[in-house]
Structure formats: structure tokens, C-alpha cells
């Protein structure tokens, strides 16, 4: 490729978001396939939770690429940085979490609270992301929202990670220190009955930033390499396809591992943790490097305008593909199936219903969820994102140039 620098926005990386969200969807609903479906394939699909790892590596790359050479630990810079993060993540999460607890209020569905006796306190822990530090509470509210606690921890940590990397040139040792600190917390709190707060090593390694920090560091390292070398290459290796093959080998390896008692996937096996948190993260970075530096067919597919739209709305899809939204749609499909058979009885025919097959219903629901996601993205998420960024929330709205100039001047003054 002739250009040496990467554009600020890469459509293919937005398309990757859709891919990641759909992989997680498959991992949660592989049981919809009937018993004639090979069990080994179902186990393989069950390990498609690695879409979360794709999100984590991508976050590390994007935050580092955007901010590593443009961060200043001044009050105004940090406020603007947090404002941008809140605008991107929080509005839809808050609205959908409030929806989950409203649903609980009217239905009493214990899945929302996991039997926790104080729903209002649990709501506060959900809207502040604190529930993600407790093994017993991690799947409350929006169950898959545990990963946002991991993301938020990274967002808060990123400027300090960059500072240490630049000031002390200790980039590689940082994930060891962070994970070591997580292990220390487990040793301290595993004997306390506090809703599973850092209650065991599996929880720490799979569900917290302290255990999964390496995935973000891999993304950061990729960003630093692109900053240093650009996207012009001399070799012709197809990293896109090498990377994607390695990416899918990892869940296959996890599917071969025995599932530990009390857990649900090969991921929770100690070897599965190594494969997911480390080998998979590196494989994803190789895949991303290919997307950034090559003009493959896969890159063109992921850059397609419709796929790009799916990627932009994939955050909402991720938040609604489990829980009350899915349940309402699923119940609606079941109601339609009953109605179809009522009509058949009236007509005196013995036909198949288009809604009697679980795997086909899953496809219908998948399409409906995408439609809802796009609608919510266009009408709520995108407008709120723009509104918050232009508002005086946290910091008075300024042009980006003025903020950068002021931060640069402050950083220069502080260094003297």
C-alpha cells in the first residue's frame, strides 16, 4: 500500500464490531440446534464468546492509536477524555439497565437480580459498573454488561498506562504487575463471603480487567507499531487470513478442554484462560494488522456500508441480545407459532409452521434484534452521543483544536 499513515477512521474495524457481537450471540444460543447437530460442533460454537476478546483488543488499539501521542494529564484533558468515553458507552447502557430493572419490578424475574435481596442497591451497583467486581453479581441487570466494567477500568487506566510506558519505558512489565495485583486481591478476599468480590482466580482472570488486561495491552502494542512503522509493508504475507485462521483455532482448542465443575465453557479451564486471554489476543492483533495494511476481500466486506452500519449499532445489539428484550421477542415468536397452528386446525390442514423450528426462530430473532439495534442507534444512541459531546457536561464545550492547544501548553508548562 502506498500510504504510510493510517486514517483516523477505518470502516473495516467498525465492521469487526458486528462480527464480534454476532460471535457472542452464537455462543449464547448454540443450544437452539437440535440433537442431530454434532456435539463437537456445538462445543466449538459455545466457545464463540471470544467476540468479547475482539472487543477488548480493538478497544486497546483504538484508544492507544487516538490518544497515546496526544494525552496530557491535565484536568481539562482528562475531563474531555472521560466525557468522550461517557458519550460513547453510558447513555444506552443506562437506559437499557433501567429497562431491565423496570422489567424486574413488573415480572419478578430472578435472572435480573440473581436472588439479591436489595434491588435498588443492585441497580446502583449496575449503573456504576461496580457489580462487575463481584462474582455473585456479575450477571445481574444486563448479564453481558459485565464486560463494560472491564472496559471502563481500561478507560480509566489507559492514560496512566501510557504515562508509565513513556516515562519509564516499562510497557511489557505492566500487564504482569496488573494481573499480579489481581492475584493478590484473590488471595486476600477469597476467604471472605462478600458476594464473591475477587472470590476466585477463574473469576478474576475471566471477568475482570486485572485478569484480562493483556488483551488491551496487545491492542495498545499494535497501535504503537502502526504509529512507528505506518501501514506500508515490504512483505506480501496475508496477515488478514493468517490471523483469522489462528483466531478460529483458539476456540477449537478451548472446545477440546473439559469444562470445570460449576462453570460453563472450556474458557474456564486454566488452559482455556491461557488460550483466550493470551494466544487469542495475539491472533486477533495479527488479524487486525492485516485489515489495516492489506486490501483483501474480507476487508472490503467489513468496510461495506451496510456492514459498517451493523458495526455501529452492534453495541446495542450486544446489550439486548440477552435478557428481557430477547425474551419478549422470543415469546412473540412462540405466540405466532401457536396462532399458526390454531389457524391450521380451523382450516383442517396438517402443515408445518414457519415458527416451529428453534434454529429458524433464532434467525428470525437475530434479524429483529438487528433491526431494533439500528433503530435505537439512529434515534437514541447517536443523537445522545453527539449531544453529550457538544454539551458542557464535565467540561465546557470547546473546539477540539482549542482543547488540544491548551492541553499542550499546560503540559509544556508543567514540564519546565
pLDDT recorded at residue 5: 59
Mean pLDDT by 10 residues, the chain (416 residues): 62 96 96 82 95 98 94 88 93 97 95 91 96 96 97 96 87 92 97 93 98 98 93 87 98 97 95 98 98 94 97 98 96 94 93 91 96 98 95 80 42 37
Neighbours of 275 (CB within 10 A): 24
pLDDT recorded at residue 301: 97
Which residue is it, cell 516499562? 170
- Which DSSP string corresponds to 25-51? HHHHHGGGS-TTS-HHHHHHHHTGGGH
pLDDT recorded at residue 319: 98
pLDDT recorded at residue 402: 45
Instruction: Give residues with Cβ within 8 angstroms of 253, minimum separation 6.
Output: 266, 275, 279
133-137: long-range pairs with CB below 8 Å, 24+ = 133/197, 133/198, 133/208, 134/194, 134/195, 134/196, 134/197, 134/199, 135/195, 135/196, 135/197, 135/198, 135/199, 135/200, 135/203, 135/207, 136/195, 136/196, 136/199, 137/195, 137/196
Domain ranges of the chain: 11-322+357-415
CB 133 within 8 A of CB 210: no
pLDDT recorded at residue 20: 98
3-state secondary structure of 134: strand
Cell of 246: 489462528
In angstroms, the CA 115 to CA 67 distance is 41
pTM above 0.85, yes or no: yes
Amino acid at each position: 500500500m502506498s500510504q504510510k499513515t493510517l486514517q483516523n477512521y477505518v470502516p473495516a474495524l467498525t465492521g469487526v464490531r458486528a462480527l464480534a457481537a454476532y460471535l457472542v450471540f452464537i455462543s449464547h444460543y448454540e443450544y437452539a440446534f437440535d440433537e442431530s447437530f454434532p456435539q463437537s460442533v456445538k462445543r466449538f460454537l459455545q466457545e464463540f464468546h471470544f467476540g468479547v476478546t475482539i472487543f477488548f483488543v480493538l478497544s486497546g488499539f483504538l484508544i492507544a492509536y487516538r490518544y497515546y501521542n496526544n494525552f496530557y494529564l491535565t484536568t481539562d484533558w482528562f475531563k474531555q477524555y472521560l466525557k468522550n468515553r461517557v458519550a460513547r458507552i453510558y447513555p444506552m447502557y443506562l437506559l437499557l439497565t433501567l429497562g431491565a430493572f423496570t422489567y424486574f419490578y413488573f415480572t419478578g424475574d430472578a435472572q435480573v437480580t440473581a436472588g439479591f435481596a436489595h434491588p435498588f442497591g443492585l441497580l446502583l451497583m449496575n449503573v456504576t459498573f461496580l457489580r462487575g467486581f463481584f462474582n455473585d453479581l456479575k450477571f445481574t441487570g444486563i448479564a453481558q454488561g459485565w464486560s463494560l466494567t472491564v472496559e471502563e477500568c481500561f478507560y480509566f487506566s489507559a492514560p496512566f498506562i501510557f504515562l508509565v510506558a513513556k516515562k519509564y519505558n516499562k510497557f511489557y512489565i505492566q500487564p504482569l504487575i496488573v494481573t499480579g495485583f489481581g492475584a493478590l486481591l484473590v488471595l486476600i478476599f477469597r476467604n471472605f463471603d462478600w458476594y464473591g468480590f475477587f472470590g476466585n482466580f477463574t473469576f478474576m482472570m475471566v471477568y475482570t480487567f486485572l485478569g484480562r488486561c493483556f488483551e488491551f495491552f496487545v491492542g495498545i502494542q499494535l497501535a504503537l507499531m502502526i504509529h512507528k512503522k505506518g501501514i506500508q509493508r515490504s512483505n506480501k504475507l496475508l496477515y488478514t487470513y493468517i490471523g483469522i485462521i489462528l483466531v478460529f483455532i483458539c476456540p477449537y482448542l478451548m472446545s477440546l478442554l473439559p469444562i470445570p465443575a460449576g462453570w460453563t465453557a472450556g474458557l474456564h479451564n486454566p488452559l482455556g484462560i491461557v488460550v483466550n486471554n493470551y494466544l487469542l489476543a495475539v491472533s486477533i492483533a495479527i488479524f487486525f494488522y492485516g485489515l489495516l495494511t492489506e486490501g483483501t476481500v474480507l476487508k472490503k466486506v467489513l468496510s461495506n456500508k451496510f456492514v459498517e452500519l451493523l458495526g455501529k449499532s452492534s453495541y446495542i445489539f450486544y446489550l439486548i441480545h440477552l435478557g428481557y428484550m430477547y425474551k419478549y421477542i422470543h415469546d412473540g415468536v412462540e405466540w405466532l407459532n401457536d396462532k399458526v397452528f390454531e389457524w391450521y386446525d380451523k382450516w383442517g390442514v396438517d402443515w408445518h409452521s414457519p415458527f416451529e423450528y428453534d434454529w429458524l426462530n433464532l434467525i428470525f430473532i437475530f434479524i429483529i434484534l438487528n433491526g431494533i439495534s439500528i433503530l435505537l442507534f439512529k434515534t437514541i444512541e447517536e443523537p445522545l452521543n453527539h449531544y453529550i459531546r457538544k454539551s458542557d457536561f464535565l467540561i465546557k464545550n470547546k473546539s477540539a483544536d482549542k482543547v488540544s492547544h491548551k492541553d499542550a501548553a499546560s503540559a509544556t508548562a508543567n514540564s519546565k
